[in-house]
Amino acid sequence: MDFSCHCNSGNNYSQCCLKYISDKENPKTALELMRSRYSAFVTKNKDYLLKTWHKKNSNEIGQELFDENLKWVSLEIINTKRGNVNDRTGYVEFKATFEIDGNKTTLHENSKFKKEQGRWYYVNGTHK
């Protein structure tokens, strides 16, 4: 069964973030990694989030984002800077909205990504 991807790309999940989350392919751009990390938050896939995080420090991942009552509502990409196939660093500015007990919260972040040995990693984010 297939459905429209969690990351709001308009593509089917199997042709979008699932390829990366299931390790069939590596994201080629910072934006693809960012989208797949959002989908991993939606599916509460902590392993993927740690694997694609430069720091790999599970204690700092923000346990509140894995609350079972938390539902991710939408992802909106605002801007990207570098992060293409031939780059080593990239930035993605986005708004991600989640809902918990009927209250919506929007995170507005500019995330930094870094490529090492052909793989993109999330480095950190600046909140807007």
9 binds Zn ion (CB under 5 A): yes
Tell me how far apart the alpha carbons of residues 70 and 104 are, in angstroms, rounded to a whole number: 10
Closest CB 59 distance from Zn ion, rounded Å: 28
What number of residues does the chain have? 128
| CA pair distance 99, 70, nearest whole angstrom | 6
Say which DSSP state 20 is in.
Answer: H
Of 4, 12, 15, 16, the one binding Zn ion by CB under 5 A: 16
Query: Least distance (Å) from Zn ion to the CB of residue 85?
Result: 18
Least distance to Zn ion from the beta carbon of 12, Å? Answer: 9
Among 21, 31, 34, 35, binds Zn ion (CB under 5 A): 35
How many CA within 13 A on the CB side of residue 2?
11
Residues in the site for Zn ion, rule: CB under 5 A? 5, 7, 9, 16-17, 35
